[in-house]
Amino acid sequence: MTMEQQERRRSFSFAVPALIWTCAFFVVPFLVMLVLSLAHLEGRQIVQDYDLGNYVKIFTEPSLFKGIMVSLEITITVTILSVLLAWPLAWIIATQVPERYQRLAIMLAVLPFWTSYVVRSYAWALVLGQNGVLMQGLIAIGILDEPVQIMATRAATVIGFVHFFVMLLTLTIYSNLIQLSPNYARAAADLGASGWNTFRLVILPLTLPGIMTGAFLTFVLCIGDYITPQILGGNNELSMPQLIMLQLGRRGDFPMASALSVVLMVIVTLAYAASARWLKMERV
């Protein structure tokens, strides 16, 4: 054995424990789920007759198929709204705020990140409730005569999500913006571009990687989240994670829960494939 082979073997042995851990507790469970999704539940017994019955059911039974649509609609709305709200904030912090206060401004912008996730959704329930601060405030200043129902609707879920992801996206877009030299904008202006054209043709394309990385992250985290729709959206319309939990809780239907999870993973993979050319994932 040559020196080089020895070195390689030694290096590989360092990676082995982590690889075993990932295989045992991530890859194997996923494969088990994949197999289980082909079985189905009869009474309380799992019958191991492998077919695509669960998948057919997901796409034909309205209550299940609606979950996919609800999740997609919520996630796409949240992703778009979050980008639209976060970009200007990141841009203002990067260009209008004096440099020595920028770090402080960005830390403040993401400070509520550090509240617990469950607690943050609960706090929005406090704000948005019938007797909550928002409704009472709007009534007090005369905009509303009586409270409007927001809690337990999709609007509440979207607000809760957008709050979280505006913070996340402000961070990713800001870190992208400060790497841009101000000379780009200056050069564009010298060459006669208007403010709008400078933005549209120079600044926006240069921040696209930051936007897409953040948007992809938003998509993945949003579509897989159970807490926010459960606390804020209630049970009027169920998202996919809520449906998965429902299968587990009500009758222990692990095969159907597995099939729904596989569909969820396929959707995320498709989203990745669609945005991969803009993502800066190759760094890791």
Partner 1 sequence: MRTLGWLYMAAIFVFIFLPVVVLVLFSFQDSRLPVPPFDGPTLKWYAQVLADRGMMEALRNSLVVAVVSSAVALLLGFFAAQGLARVRLPGSALMRGLLIAPMTVSYLIIALGLLTVFNNLGFRPSLWATGIGHVVISLPLCFAILFAAMGDHQKNAERAARDLGASDLQVLFLVTAPMLKPALLAAFFLSVTFSWDEFIIAFLLTRFDVTLPVEIWSMLRSGLSPATNAIGSLVFLVSIVILILLELTVFRKSKT
Binders of partner 1 in range 259-278 (CB under 8 A): 261, 264-265, 268, 272
* Segment interacting with partner 1, rule: CB under 8 A, options 29-37, 49-57, 72-80, 202-210: 29-37
Please say which residue, 117 or 184, places its beta carbon nearer to partner 1: 117
Give residues 39-98 in contact with partner 1 (rule: CB under 8 A): 85, 88-89, 92-93, 96
Instruction: Please identify which residue in 131, 146, 196, 277 interacts with partner 1, judged by CB under 8 A.
Output: 131
Asked whether the beta carbons of 158 and 241 are under 8 A apart, the reply is no
- Stretch of 67-75, 141-149, 162-170, 184-192 contacting partner 1, by CB under 8 A: 162-170
Does 132 help bind partner 1 (rule: CB under 8 A)? Answer: yes
Ramachandran angles phi, psi of 47, nearest 5°: -95, 125
Closer of 188 and 262 to partner 1 (Cβ): 262
Residues ≥6 apart with Cβ < 8 Å to 173: 86, 87, 90, 91, 207, 210, 211, 214
Q: Please give the Cα distance from 268 to 242 (Å, whole number).
A: 17
Tell me the site size for partner 1, rule CB under 8 A.
78
**Using CA atoms, how far apart are residues 173 and 212, in angstroms rounded to an integer?**
9
**Is residue 179 part of the contact set for partner 1 (CB under 8 A)?**
no
Give me the sign of the Cα torsion angle 31, 35, 40, 45. negative
Which one among 64, 74, 83, 166 touches partner 1, defined by CB under 8 A?
A: 166
Number of H helices, E strands in the chain: 14, 2
Q: Shortest distance, CB of residue 199 to partner 1, whole angstroms? A: 12
241 binds partner 1 (CB under 8 A): yes
Strand ranges for 61-189 from DSSP E: none
